[in-house]
Amino acid sequence: MDPALGPRDHLLTEQPNECARGLDALTTEGAFDVLNAEDATVAAAVGTAREELARAADLITARLAAGGRLFYVGAGTSGRLAVLDAAECPPTFSSDPEQIQAIIAGGPAALTAAIEGAEDDAEAAGRELDARGLSDSDVVLGITAGGTTPFVHGALHHARSEGAFTIFFACVPREEAPDEADLSIRVLTGPEVVSGSPRMKAGTAPKLALNTLSTLVMVRLGKVYDNLMIDVDASANAKLVERARTLIQRVTGCDRERAAELLDEAGGSAKLACCMALTGQDAEGARASLDAAGGSLRSAT
Residues annotated catalytic, as ranges: 88, 119
Give residues with Cβ within 8 angstroms of 67, minimum separation 6: 137
- The enclosing H or E element of 284 equals helix 283-292
Which one, of 77, 123, 137, lies nearest residue 102 by Cα? Answer: 77
CA dihedral 121, 181, 193, 213 (to 10 degrees): -110
DSSP letter string over 133-198?
A: T--TT-EEEEE-TTS--HHHHHHHHHHHHTT-EEEEEESS-TTTS----SEEEE----S-SSTT-T
Amino acid 44 reads A
- The enclosing H or E element of 102 equals strand 100-104
Task: For residue 100, count CB atoms less than 10 angstroms from its CB and return exposed for 0-12, middle for 13-18, buried for 19 or more.
Answer: buried
Strand partners, 169: 143, 185
Pairing label, strands 139-143, 165-170: parallel
**188 touches 210 (CB < 8 A):** no
Give residues with Cβ within 8 angstroms of 124, minimum separation 6: 105, 118, 151, 154
Q: Using CA atoms, how far apart are residues 152 and 142, in angstroms rounded to an integer?
A: 5
